[in-house]
Amino acid sequence: MELAGQLSQAAGDGDEAAVRQLLAAGARADQGDQHGWLPLHVASIFGHERVVRLLLEAAPATALAVDLFESTPLHLAAELGKVGVIQLLLSAAPAAASMLNAETHSPIYYAACRSNAAVVQQLLEAAPAMAFALDAFGHTPLHWALRYSHFNGTAEQVMETACCLVQAALAVQPALGILLQYSQRSATLFTDLVARLPLSQEQWHSIPAPCSDLGRALPAVLERSTAEAGWLVRRLAKGQRKRLRAAALSLARAQRGLPSLPAELSGRILAVCLLEP
């Protein structure tokens, strides 16, 4: 077996000593196989951090190398959740987080599909604009997180991953539109979105009602806009609205003759009243 093949095999085995010896003997870390895979692709797939570090030291530019499908080592590491390797690759080449493969997907798509919130967060820190970047089919990583949720991860992992993406939204759309497509799985995600970003009356009315979890967002929404707080209340369940009305009246009586409480604090008090008894 030639040196290049031996280096790829040693990289896949995680054999740090053999990789050192082969590099010293003249094996090239930037030489790919018939699939375009470099030793760095191989080491990244298996999560061999020490070998990845050696290969990056030998050929730093390989952090941006692509195989026949235009996938970088980061694409592969992200799909398989190799957190340590991902950090090394991002440190060597932050731009890799924004690179698209032949399917027009950046690495975050694969982490989202796998319901890996930790990796999604890593990639968002490197390339926040990728959170809602569209692929060739008009889909975003949030689409993938929700669409493939029944294949990968528990319900909690799916929601944690989707929440990371929703919290990266810079505007209500397209996040709200995506959540409406998957409304049966999005109750808690509506809350994360409306707590961060202002919605128009029309956008509030598009949220399926009753959406009892919206009560968690009441403090943030009330601090932002009394009009929005009113629209939020209309999306709550009937029993919640009744409890909220009684709590608001009690709070108003208790405050008579006293300085008004800050809106955020009032919202927190009222939100507590929405909790199921």
Return the higher-pLDDT residue of 36 and 135: 135
CA angle at 159 for the pair 100 and 116, rounded to the nearest 5°: 45
> Over the stretch 164-209, which tens digit does the pLDDT of each residue have?
999 999 999 999 999 999 988 788 899 999 999 999 999 999 999 9
- Can you say whether residue 254 is alpha, beta or left, with left for phi > 0 and alpha for psi between -120 and 50 degrees? alpha
Determine the Cα–Cα distance for residues 77 and 74; give it in Å rounded to an integer.
5
Structural domains in the chain?
A: 1-96 (1.25.40.20)
Determine the Cα–Cα distance for residues 129 and 228; give it in Å rounded to an integer.
27
Average pLDDT over residues 138-145: 96
In the chain, the DSSP E strands lie at none
Determine the Cα–Cα distance for residues 142 and 215; give it in Å rounded to an integer.
23
Tokens of 240: 């919640």
Tokens of 109: 């798509």
Contacts of 273 (CB under 8 A, 6+ apart): 243, 244, 246, 247
Contacts of 162 (CB under 8 A, 6+ apart): 142, 145, 146, 186, 189
Q: Given 3-state DSSP classes, what are the helix, strand and coil percentages for the chain, each rounded to the nearest 5?
A: 65, 0, 35
Q: Please give the pLDDT value at position 185.
A: 78
Task: Determine contact, residues 40/56, Cβ cutoff 8 Å.
Answer: yes
Determine the Cα–Cα distance for residues 237 and 222; give it in Å rounded to an integer.
18
> Over the stretch 5-44, which tens digit does the pLDDT of each residue have?
899 999 999 999 999 999 999 999 999 887 889 999 999 9
DSSP letter assigned to residue 234: T
> Over the stretch 115-130, which tens digit does the pLDDT of each residue have?
999 999 999 999 999 9
Determine the Cα–Cα distance for residues 269 and 277; give it in Å rounded to an integer.
15
Average the pLDDT over each of 17-26, 121-130, 231-240, 264-273 and give the range with the smallest value. 264-273
**On the CB side of 166, how many CA atoms lie within 13 Å of its CA?**
25
Q: Please give the pLDDT value at position 183.
A: 84
Radius of gyration over every alpha carbon of the chain, rounded to an integer in angstroms: 25
**On the CB side of 62, how many CA atoms lie within 13 Å of its CA?**
24
Residue 54 has pLDDT above 90, yes or no: yes
The average confidence (pLDDT) of the chain is 89
